[in-house]
Amino acid sequence: MGFWSDIGNPTEPKRKYRWLAYIGDMQPWVCKKVTKPEWEVTESVHQYLNHEFYYPGRTKWSTVTVTLADPASPDMAQIFYNKLTRAGYHPPEDMNDTTTMSKRGATTEVGKVRIVMLGSSDSAPDSGGGNAGFGIGGDTVIEEWQLYNAWVRKVSLGELDYSSDDMVEISVELRYDYAKLNAKNGDNQFGNETSTVNPDVTF
């Protein structure tokens, strides 16, 4: 019998389709695909004779890309264009308008960004008092990322094609300063400022 289904101690794998993405007050059902946070540690090298010794440097976080459906309502193209203008970009129509974009305005327009992975109702480890993870309906949150100070770096509105009957999609690239995982988050999507996702799990 496979280790995934050992009787008495089943292990539930993380599944690609069990997730929700929260971007500010945007409805999560418009999100079709999302990349998870990715980090890279830079390096510096010290050379001595014919040897090289490597030292870790700064940690850099890569952008996250979200693919969204673009229904007529809510009109996601209009929503993101409005976010752009409210963040400080104004078309050059008034020579007296000197408004420019600011980080505060750009991050405020995006709001909190969370990527939540769901498991089955018995996925979270039991700490003796029941499930340790949060519940959404009958599922348990087994992983939760939060992006801090996220702002929209790029929006691609897709393409139009007479030969295709596919739904129009929007690709949104988010830049952020850093991300936190699970218990490292200061708060959570479900309104509990002190609880954490799977606090008994060491990541």
CATH number of the domain to which 57 belongs: 2.30.110
**Beta strand 39-48 with 31-34: parallel, antiparallel or unpaired?**
unpaired
In a domain, 78, yes or no: yes
| Cis peptide leading into residue 56 (ω within 30°) | no
Count of Cβ atoms closer than 10 Å to residue 185 Cβ: 18
Which residue range(s) make up the domain with 152? 13-184
Segment 189-193 mean pLDDT: 42
**Rounded to 5 degrees, what angle do the CA atoms 110, 65, 155 make?**
65
The fraction of the chain above a pLDDT of 90, given in percent, is 61
In a domain, 136, yes or no: yes
Question: Whole-prediction pTM value?
Answer: 0.77
State pLDDT tens for residues 53-68: 999 999 999 999 999 9
Which of the four pLDDT bands, split at 50, 70 and 90, describes residue 97? confident
User: Crossing angle, helix 76-86 and helix 103-110, to 10 degrees?
Assistant: 150
Tens of pLDDT, residue by residue over 4-29, are 566 666 677 888 999 999 999 888 99
Q: For 71-198, list the strands marked E by DSSP.
A: 113-119, 135-136, 139-148, 151-156, 169-175, 178-181
What stretches of 35-137 adopt beta strand conformation (E)?
39-48, 51-61, 64-69, 113-119, 135-136
Give the number of domains in the chain. Answer: 1
**153 occurs within a structural domain:** yes
Whole-number pLDDT of residue 119: 84
> Is 180 a domain residue?
yes
